[in-house]
Amino acid sequence: MAKDRVLLVDDEVDFLEALAERLQRRGLDVTRATSGREALTAVAEQTFDAVVLDLAMPGLDGIETLRRLRELQPNLQVMILSGRATVQTAVEATQLGATDIFEKPTDVETLVERIRSARAARLAHEDEVAKEHIDEIMHTKGW
Amino acid sequence: MPMSDEPQRRLEREGALFFGSVGAGLSHELSNVFNIINELSGLQQDILAGAAQDGTAGLGRVADLATRIKTQVIRGEEINRCLHHLSHTVDKEETTFDLGEKLALLGSLAARAARLAEVELRVRSPESPIVHLGDPFALLLALHGCVTTAIKAAVSERRIEIWSESGADGVRVIIRSADPIPQLESDTPTAAAIDAGCAALSVVPRIEPASEGGHRIVLALSGVSTEMA
């Protein structure tokens, strides 16, 4: 079975590297990005089951990155992992489609569990889209 | 000389906002340190657990992680030192202080905002220490407002430099940005902080084109300054 693929986005390189290795040790396939721009490039080029995104970053902050990620892939599963998410940013992130808001430090096992659930949600959504597509073909072709 | 009630109230109000703002930023930076230490120590546990299972030592990796934890502890100590230094700037309204030290502190306090705005912020130490008699907190409040204004306006070249100059007419603090700096707007929190700090110092910030390009904010400090040989 293919590994769960996650994009980890955080400008604190030591944090990024350590958490990435911990996720890899738990069987995940981890891609790292140190900025919102890097994250957008990665998502444009690859498929991920989930994105784990920091909020306070230089350049594009987490909220703006989330907004653009969802424009690129409306069904992308994005989780916020932030040091100090305010109620306002949490609400904004949720409205933009973030599936979870985690506050650092978070339990790595909980994070892994949510990433695995995100994969299941993504695959279920793809199945649904495929089914709708097949139904449409069946309908239009009159079979 | 003690200030009258109104400027004093403004200084206290703006000072509290300034403390809140930089305190929150430093707290966030400290959280980053603790979060990194948390993940590094978690990774150490993972490596040791793996080593126990498969019989490998993993000691080299653990030693490497210990070094990285130590680096973060040093970073945390530096942030805490800034917080401590800032807290003591309110001890006395008028005192002698090393201007270069206060500018270095200013650089540390503004570092997070500069990093998030992708602006390179550099503080140049004076060639000889300059000891100034005045209100160090009011100075930091005013200068932090000026630096914040310059950071917000730095959207192209993104380079800011801070230094002090000692001349026959006294000491000047200069904040030079490679980008244009707009005139200080009124009715903004940053302008209110600058006003309150400058009123307490009896100075008026001046924005002028810099000969090296861009603009600079100049604060000519009143009070006694001594350049140490």
pLDDT value of residue B2: 58
Which residue among B87, B114, B145 closes a domain? B87
Is B32 in contact with A83 (Cβ distance < 8 A)? Answer: yes
Is-cis flag, bond preceding B126, omega within 30? no
Amino acid at B50: G
B129 and B203, same domain (yes or no):
yes
Of residues A14, A19, A83, nearest to B72 (C-beta): A14
Asked whether residue B213 falls in the same domain as residue B166, the answer is yes
Question: Which of B35, B112, B118 would best serve as a mutation to test chain A binding (most A beta carbons within 10 A)?
Answer: B35
Residue A140's pLDDT band (cuts 50, 70, 90): confident
User: With 70 as the cut, is the pLDDT of residue A80 above it?
Assistant: yes
ipTM given for this complex: 0.81
The predicted model scores a pTM of 0.81
Domain count, chain B: 2
Rounded distance between C-alpha atoms, residue B89 and residue B108, angstroms: 15
Is A84 within 8 Å of B28 when comparing Cβ atoms? yes
Confidence of residue B57 (pLDDT cuts 50, 70, 90): low
Segment B111-146, tens digit of pLDDT = 999 999 999 999 999 888 899 999 999 999 999 999
Residue A53: predicted pLDDT: 97
Residue ranges making up the domain that contains B50: 5-87
How confident is residue A14, by pLDDT bands cut at 50, 70 and 90?
Answer: very high
One domain for residues B63 and B168: no
Query: Which of A21, A24, A25, A54 to substitute to test the interface with B, most B CBs within 10 Å?
Result: A21
- pLDDT recorded at residue A41: 98
Q: What is the pLDDT of residue B107?
A: 97
Contacts by B163-169 with C-beta closer than 8 Å and gap 24+?
A: B163/B103, B163/B123, B163/B124, B163/B125, B163/B126, B164/B99, B164/B100, B164/B103, B164/B126, B164/B130, B166/B126, B166/B128, B166/B130, B166/B225, B166/B227, B169/B220
pLDDT value at residue B10:
85
Can you list the positions of beta strands (E) in A1-143? 5-9, 29-33, 50-53, 78-82, 100-103
**pLDDT at site A129:** 81
Q: What is the mean pLDDT of residues B90-104?
A: 92
Report whether A43 contacts A5 (CB < 8 A). Answer: no
Domain boundary among B87, B104, B132: B87
* Interchain proximity B115–A58, CB inside 8 Å: yes
Which of B23, B53, B87 terminates a domain? The answer is B87
**For residue B114, how many other CB atoms are within 10 A of its CB?**
21
Closest among B177, B173, B79 to B126, alpha carbons compared: B173
What is the per-residue pLDDT across A26-71, written as a single tens digit (0 to 9) for each? Answer: 999 999 999 999 999 999 999 999 999 999 999 999 999 999 999 9
| CATH code of the domain covering residue B115 | 3.30.565.10
Yes or no, beta carbons of B46 and A22 under 8 Å apart: yes
A72-99: average pLDDT: 91
